[in-house]
Amino acid sequence: MAFGFFRDKNKGPREVTCPLCQHCQQESQLAVSSYCRGCGAYLTFEKDGEIKARPQAPPDPFAHRPPQPKIEIEYKPRKEAPVTTPKKPFPAPPAETAADAVEPVPTELPKEVEPETQGETIAPLPDLTPLPTTSQEYSVPDDGSPSRYHGNEEEKSTPGSTKLETREVACFECGDTHAANIRANSTQCRSCGRLISMENREIKDAISSRIQTRGDVHIYKKGIVHSAPIQCNNLIVEGDFTGDAECSGDLILRRSGKITGKVTCKRLLVEKRAKIEFLNSVVMDECRIDGIVTGHLACRGLLALEKKATLTGNIKVGRLTVADGAKHTGQIQMGGF
């Protein structure tokens, strides 16, 4: 390996002899330094042709550190475990002497007394056949009484078993109804196969998206639903609601305001201190009013006006009850549905 700049590549190599190990090797004419291939010494080529060699010593990695004091470690021999001597067994009790020994008294069994057979009868031996195991069935006479081992039909029914609570759910697509578990979050229509949501919704802020579920929807005081239709089971309104409402259960109104959309429900409940104005048609099966209502109502069943009710508008009812103190202004049509 040579280091230098080659100015003339046409000149041939020269012979170089290491001054330390006398190893000969070829180097370029323009080489300035190289390494001996025999002993690894560093060679320097002077201008006058002299070759200087410097032996290569391995670098000392601890040369920069000050000398460390030597630490002598004393190795002590391992202590042997003490040898435990086995405990002496308890001395055996002394043997009995001939004087202390007591001869066993022979016991004679009483002789069997043969029964006198003259003028007496021998009682028969009891039946020692094994009793039937639990796997065998007992035969019980069929006399109409309840079985002792199997129980009657009333005992078979456990009192803790409860029936599955279901309610009718209508499909949003085809309108077909089927029974579904009231605790389920969703169900599937038996006719068209559409997935029907049954989750309850709580609205505590402003929304503008459509709500479609067969669960209950509760609009709190700070909840706002503008121009968004709601399809649900029961709807409780305590905030601001102005859209369409289609309820398969109850519509409970506890606020004052205007409802511009169409309302269809099974039962309409207007509670005390509520002042509602309907600007579109309202159709229900039953209705109970205990507040102030303005609008045209169509009730297929019973419409009840409570003591503090005030109804302004035309009504079409199947039955009508008016409590003392209730007021109504408008036309009344009985039947005709």
186 φ/ψ angles, rounded to the nearest 5 degrees: -160, 165
Give the chain's domain count.
3
185 and 237 inside one domain: no
Q: What pLDDT does 53 receive?
A: 85
Residue 294 forms part of a structural domain: yes
Name residue, tokens 């006719």: 191
CA distance 37 to 16: 11
Whether residue 247 sits in one domain with residue 265 = yes
Which range is most confident: 76-90, 128-142, 239-253? Answer: 239-253
Query: How do residues 267-290 score in pLDDT, each as one tens digit?
Result: 999 999 899 999 999 999 999 999
**219 shares its domain with 279:** yes
Q: Are residues 185 and 241 in the same domain?
A: no
Looking at the structure, tell me whether residues 189 and 224 fall in a common domain: no
pLDDT score of 180 more than 80 = yes
Q: Which of 197, 216, 243 is at the close of a domain? A: 197
For the cut 80, the answer to whether the pLDDT of residue 192 exceeds it is: yes
Would you state the pLDDT for residue 159?
A: 53
- Please compute, for residue 138, the number of CA atoms within 13 A of its CA located in the half-sphere on the CB side: 10
Answer whether residue 161 is part of any domain. no
Q: pTM, whole model, 2 decimals?
A: 0.52
Is 327 part of any domain?
yes
Of 277, 108, 248, nearest in space to 172 by CA: 248
Q: Residues 248, 178: one domain?
A: no
- The SS3 of residue 155 is helix
Inside any domain, residue 230: yes
SS3 content of the chain, % helix, strand, coil (to 5): 0, 35, 65
Given a contact cutoff of 8 angstroms between Cβ atoms, the answer to whether 17 and 24 are in contact is yes
| Element housing 334 (H / E) | strand 332-334
CA 79 and chain centroid, separation:
60
Range 149-160 average pLDDT:
47
- Residue 311: pLDDT band (50, 70, 90) is very high
282 and 326 in a common domain: yes
Q: How far is 180 from 325, CA to CA, in rounded Å?
A: 43
Q: Are residues 184 and 218 in the same domain?
A: no
* Residue 140, in any domain of the structure: no
Does 206 reside within a domain? yes
One domain for residues 181 and 213:
no
Burial (Cβ within 10 Å: 0-12, 13-18, ≥19) of residue 299:
buried
What are 229's two structure tokens? 């239709």
Please check whether residues 246 and 321 belong to one and the same domain: yes
For residue 19, give its domain range.
2-54
Tell me whether residue 35 is in a domain.
yes
Residue 159 placed within a domain: no
Q: Write b or e for each residue in 122-157: b if 16 or more Cβ atoms lie within 10 A of its Cβ, otherwise e.
A: eeeeeeeeeeeeeeeeeeeeeeeeeeeeeeeeeeee
Query: In percent, how much of the chain has pLDDT > 90?
Result: 44
Element (H, E) at 154: helix 153-156
- 234 and 307 inside one domain: yes
Region 206-231 average pLDDT = 93
Look over the chain and give the mean of its residue pLDDT values, rounded to a whole number. Answer: 79
pLDDT confidence band for 102 (50 / 70 / 90): low
At which of 197, 215, 249 does a domain end? Answer: 197
Residues β-bridged to residue 201:
217
Q: Which of 292, 288, 242 is nearest to 266 (CA)?
A: 288
| Alpha-carbon span 254 to 236, nearest angstrom | 8
Do 215 and 320 fall within a single domain?
Answer: yes
For residues 307 and 115, the model is more confident at: 307
